[in-house]
């Protein structure tokens, strides 16, 4: 399949929702399409998990400390979610924040000790 790289795009991903309901993802590197694949929407949670996990590993490998909290105005990429829930977690002493994006979902382990402050922050934000 030919990858049509938008003018000016140097590196990144091109995504497309296909008529059969699947997702197409193409890799762009140095302004050229380097390959593409098609997958079912419910497989995207695993892809997101792998990208986020390797990002954490690379950050730590460079010797950088992990950030705690947010100290600036929202400048990060955002995504629309279809639902949010709290559920069990395989990590002892944690609950999973489960985020669904259509058919795809990810679970983020949260320590039980952090749940109260997160809940209070969410309640405060909902009152604004």
One-character DSSP codes across 35-53: EEEEE-GGGHHHHHHHHHH
Q: Of 77 and 13, which is predicted with more confidence?
A: 13
Residues 46 and 94 in one domain: yes
Whether 73 is in a domain gets the answer: no
Q: Of 103 and 67, which is predicted with more confidence?
A: 103
Percent of all residues in the chain with a pLDDT value above 90, rounded to a whole number? 59
Residues 122 and 89 in one domain: yes
Residues 33 and 88 in one domain: no
Residues 119 and 89 in one domain: yes
**pLDDT tops 70 at residue 28:** yes
pLDDT in tens, 69-107: 666 666 777 888 999 999 999 999 999 999 998 888 999
Residues 98 and 110 in one domain: yes
Residue 112: in which H helix or E strand, if any? helix 112-126
101 lies in which domain range?
Answer: 41-61+80-128
* Residue range 12-35: mean pLDDT, rounded: 93
What is the structure's pLDDT at 45? Answer: 86
Total count of domains within the chain: 2
Residues 11 and 47 in one domain: no
Whether 30 is in a domain gets the answer: yes
Question: In whole angstroms, how far apart are CA 109 and each of 14, 36, 105?
Answer: 29, 31, 13
Whether 93 is in a domain gets the answer: yes
CA atoms in the 13 A half-sphere facing the CB of 87: 11
Whether 16 is in a domain gets the answer: yes
């Amino acid at each position: 399949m030919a990858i049509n790289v938008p003018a000016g795009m140097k590196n990144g991903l091109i995504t497309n929702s296909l008529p059969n309901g699947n997702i197409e993802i193409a890799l762009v590197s140095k302004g050229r399409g380097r390959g593409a694949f098609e997958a079912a929407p419910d497989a995207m949670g695993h892809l997101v998990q792998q990208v986020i996990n390797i990002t954490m590993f690379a950050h730590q490998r460079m010797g950088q400390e992990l950030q705690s909290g947010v100290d600036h105005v929202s400048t990060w990429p955002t995504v629309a979610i279809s639902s949010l829930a709290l559920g069990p977690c395989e990590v002892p002493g944690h609950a999973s924040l489960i985020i669904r994006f259509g058919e795809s979902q990810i679970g983020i382990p949260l320590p039980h000790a952090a749940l109260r402050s997160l809940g209070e922050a969410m309640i405060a934000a909902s009152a604004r």
